[in-house]
Amino acid sequence: MPITAQQASQRTREICAMAPIMPVLVVEDAGHARPLAEALVAGGLPALEVTLRTAAALDVIREMAQVPGGVVGAGTLVTPADAEAAKDAGAQFGVSPGATDALLDACEQIGLPILPGAATASEAMRLLARGYDMLKFFPAEASGGAPALKAIGAPLPQISFCPTGGVSPANADSYLSLSNVVCAGGSWVAPNDLVQGGDWGAIKQLAAEASQLGGRK
């Protein structure tokens, strides 16, 4: 069922508000998908972004979509075909590094709520004019970090963000303390060595620590 931009932003805002950190996951082996998702959800991070950067990504989404308590989305959506494949695999939302009319049209038509990316005031204003007020700020650190996002937010208080790109335990609170930030995207909660080693207990611990960042605004 088609959705509007406003409906999409309402849903992505709800998803972003589930926890202060949204894991950004690059998973090479679909066999790791379910235990990884279970560890992250058990640690307090239910909203999961699986990036479409590996051959296994769609299979990973299919597996993670079956984990109770998890809300699985597809990241790195670039084309309408990406959006359609993600939705078919069971993704409940999408995340994009930027935004094109073709991608937004496709997501609205197939009913896939999208968190579109913006790095400048002009990009954010263009998305706001279309009806999107929950955006991804990307690449966060390379675009000036928390000070830049705070500055963009001053004249655009009606827009909220999920900063992603260079966010770490060391700087996450600087983002999460901003009034225009709902959550932040981070990959450190599922480091490749722990995933490859199947150390789900350690990943659950990292997730639990991340779930307490920012004082849970």
Q: Give the active site residues.
A: 49, 136
The span from the CA of 159 to the CA of 181, in Å, is 9
Q: Strand, coil or helix: what is 204?
A: helix
Please enumerate in sequence order all residues whose Cβ is within 8 A of that of 187, keeping only pairs 6 or more positions apart, or say none. Answer: 23, 24, 25, 26
Rounded-to-integer distance, Cα 78 and Cα 95, Å: 9
DSSP notation for 155-177: T-TT-EEEEBSS--TTTHHHHHT
* Distance from C-alpha of 173 to C-alpha of 180, rounded to nearest angstrom: 13
Token pair 């494949």: residue: 85
Residues 6 or more apart in contact with residue 66 via CB below 8 angstroms? 34, 90
Distance of alpha carbon 176 from alpha carbon 204, whole angstroms:
21
